[in-house]
Structure formats: structure tokens, C-alpha cells
């Protein structure tokens, strides 16, 4: 199996790097500036699981040719359209596209561009960032990636992908309920990001503030109500765990959206919060907390992009 990893940032660089370290056939599709940096210093991973530097196989859009068996799509949502144009030459009739973007809007965009069959489900959990030297820094032990056919079938191609992904230095698993897991991930991202960004603090700091835990719990209830109306309902176990995590008084947890906000860079407000608000409106679900968070983030976003 040949895999193309679109993007060599904190997510694509980490999982793609570990796959390459394990001897899998992985090529990174990157922009010229990132290619030059990687050619000069290699792909550097700093991790509690062990540091590693490799010389990755790289390609830029103008040199891309031939179809790949799988494409791990790891760009930010606001870079999606350009990424789809860049990778189009690599998508063949049997290519699986595994998106790990936030939200669910990208699933419809991919299906419209390349066909519904080309889109497989994928959800990953990792806390990592790129430091000022361009290195990928993993901040804790979490490194989970799940994948599966959107309809839950265990197809020969997804079994082949499972063999490719396993035993590569991270936790990989084939899921027969990947669409539900993708919706659950969105619930968690919207809840975590909404709390952090509106209240400007960690989960623990918000939970310790007057009525902070109540705010977190009500926001989660609101998000779950939207997903139950327009998507795939989360499991009861997930809701219990999510509520505990989003109201934990000792938690230092923050979302990547909040960390981007602190850095003063563009954020995925539309994809993580705005799309939920719009889906709720179309379904007739009231979302006063989500709407307030979205307005708040749009003020920030417009200031950054001005």
C-alpha cells in the first residue's frame, strides 16, 4: 500500500512520520517552503514515546503523478479547497481519502469532488504542535487514530489499510462505527473550544469559577441536542465521559483552537462552531450558548484577517 499524507504539520507529520519510521511507503505532499525545510533538517518528532528524525519522501503539487491507495488529509479546514486541487492528481478510482479535519463539513465537500465511495472515515486524537524550529512536539502520551468505511462495512480495502496502520508506533484501530466517532469528536472539539475560547481559560479554571461547571455542562447538552437532530447520536458512555472531562476542576486541558487564538492566528471558528449553529438553525434547534460563542469568535477572526 502507498499512502500520500497531505500536509506535514503536527498531525500529518506525526502519524505519517511514525508510519515511515515503521517502514511503510509514505510520501508527504507539502508546499515548497515546507519541503525546503524538511529537506534541510528532516522531519523531527519530539515525543514521550521517543524522539525521531527521518528524511521523508516529499512531493509538491507540480510534481505529483500516479494514484495512491490511501490519502491521509491533515490540513486545516480553511486550507481545504487548495489542498483538494493540489492532491487531485493522486486520487484514482480505488483511492481512499482519510480526512482528519475538524467538524463534518469536509465530508460533503470531499464526496462532491471525488465521489462518495472515495471518502473513508477517520478520527484521530493527539495533542501536538509545531515549535519555532519546525519540529513536531507531542505534548502527552495520547496518539490514537481510528478509521473505517462510512457505512460500517469491513471491506477488503479497509482491511488492507488496517494492516498498513497497525504496529507503527501509535494506537491504530479499525472501527465499524467511525461516523459516530467523527460526530463524537466534533462534540468534544466544540465543547472544549467553546469553553476555552469564550472564557479565556483552561477547563479547570472555568470549572472553578462561579457557575463555570454549569456553563460547561449546559454547553455540552446544547451541542449534543444539535448532533442528535442532524447527525449520528453519541453513545451514552461518551456523554458521561465528555461531561466529566469538560467540568473537571483540576483539568489543564485546552483546545488547539484556543491555542491558535492565543497566538493571534486564524482559527476554525466556522468549521467547529459556526457549522453547528447553522445546522441547528435549519433543524429548528435553539443554541443560545453556541450562537454567543460563534459571534465572539467571529469578532476575533475578522480582526485577525483585517
- Which of 97-106, 123-132, 187-196 is the least confident region? 123-132
Mean pLDDT of 250-270: 93
Instruction: Cell numbers for 154, please give them.
Output: 469491513
pLDDT band for position 127 (50/70/90)? confident
CB 69 within 8 A of CB 2: yes
Kindly give the interhelix angle for 236-246 and 178-199, rounded to the nearest 10 degrees: 20
Under 8 Å between Cβ of 125 and 192? no
Condensed to tens digits (0 to 9), the pLDDT of residues 87-124 reads: 999 999 999 999 999 999 999 999 999 999 999 999 99
Instruction: Tell me the three state secondary structure of residue 142.
Output: strand
CA 179 to chain centre: 14
Q: Minimal CA–CA distance to 61: which of 79, 86, 41, 97?
A: 86
Whether the CB-CB separation of 197 and 258 falls below 8 Å is answered with: yes
Is residue 50 a contact partner of residue 27, using CB atoms and an 8 Å limit? no
List own/partner pairs for 48-56 with CB under 8 A and 24 or more apart. 48/138, 48/140, 48/141, 49/138, 49/141, 49/143, 49/169, 49/170, 50/169, 52/17, 52/18, 52/21, 54/17, 54/20, 54/21, 56/8, 56/16, 56/17, 56/20, 56/26, 56/27, 56/28
Residue found by looking up cell 483538494 in the block? 84
Confidence of residue 202 (pLDDT cuts 50, 70, 90): very high
233: which residues sit within 8 A by CB, 6+ positions away? Answer: 180, 183, 227
pLDDT of residue 275: 97
Does residue 153 sit in helix, strand or coil?
A: coil
pLDDT tens-digit readout, 39-96 = 999 999 999 999 999 999 999 999 998 999 999 999 988 889 999 999 999 999 999 9
Over 90: is that where the pLDDT of 143 sits? yes
Compute the mean pLDDT over every residue in the chain, rounded to the nearest whole number.
96
Amino acid at each position: 500500500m502507498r499512502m500520500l499524507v497531505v500536509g506535514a504539520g503536527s498531525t500529518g507529520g506525526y502519524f505519517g512520520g511514525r508510519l515511515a519510521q515503521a517502514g511503510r511507503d509514505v510520501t508527504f505532499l507539502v508546499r515548497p517552503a515546507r519541503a525546503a525545510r524538511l529537506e534541510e533538517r528532516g522531519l523531527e518528532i519530539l515525543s514521550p514515546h521517543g524522539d525521531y528524525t527521518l528524511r521523508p519522501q516529499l512531493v509538491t503539487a507540480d510534481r505529483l503523478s500516479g494514484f495512491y491507495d490511501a490519502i491521509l488529509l491533515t490540513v486545516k479546514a480553511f486550507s481545504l479547497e487548495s489542498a483538494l486541487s493540489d492532491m487531485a492528481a493522486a486520487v484514482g478510482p480505488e483511492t481512499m481519502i482519510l480526512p482528519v479535519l475538524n467538524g463534518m463539513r469536509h465530508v460533503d465537500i470531499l464526496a462532491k469532488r471525488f465521489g462518495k465511495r472515495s471518502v473513508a472515515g477517520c478520527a484521530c486524537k493527539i495533542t501536538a504542535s509545531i515549535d519555532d524550529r519546525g519540529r513536531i512536539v507531542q505534548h502527552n502520551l495520547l496518539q490514537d487514530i481510528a478509521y473505517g468505511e462510512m457505512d460500517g462495512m469491513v471491506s477488503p480495502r479497509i482491511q488492507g489499510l488496517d494492516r498498513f496502520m497497525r504496529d507503527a508506533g501509535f494506537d491504530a484501530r479499525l472501527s465499524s462505527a467511525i461516523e459516530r466517532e467523527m460526530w463524537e469528536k466534533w462534540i468534544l472539539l466544540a465543547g472544549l473550544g467553546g469553553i476555552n475560547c469564550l472564557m479565556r481559560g483552561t477547563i479547570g479554571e472555568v470549572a472553578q469559577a462561579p457557575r463555570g461547571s454549569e456553563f460547561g455542562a449546559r454547553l455540552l447538552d446544547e451541542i449534543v441536542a444539535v448532533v442528535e437532530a442532524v447527525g449520528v447520536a453519541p453513545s451514552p458512555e461518551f456523554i458521561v465521559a465528555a461531561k466529566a472531562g469538560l467540568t473537571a476542576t483540576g483539568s489543564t486541558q485546552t483546545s488547539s483552537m484556543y491555542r491558535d487564538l492565543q497566538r493571534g492566528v486564524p482559527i476554525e471558528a466556522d468549521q467547529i462552531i459556526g457549522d453547528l449553529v447553522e445546522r441547528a438553525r435549519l433543524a429548528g434547534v435553539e443554541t443560545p450558548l453556541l450562537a454567543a460563542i460563534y459571534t465572539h469568535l467571529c469578532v476575533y477572526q475578522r480582526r485577525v484577517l483585517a
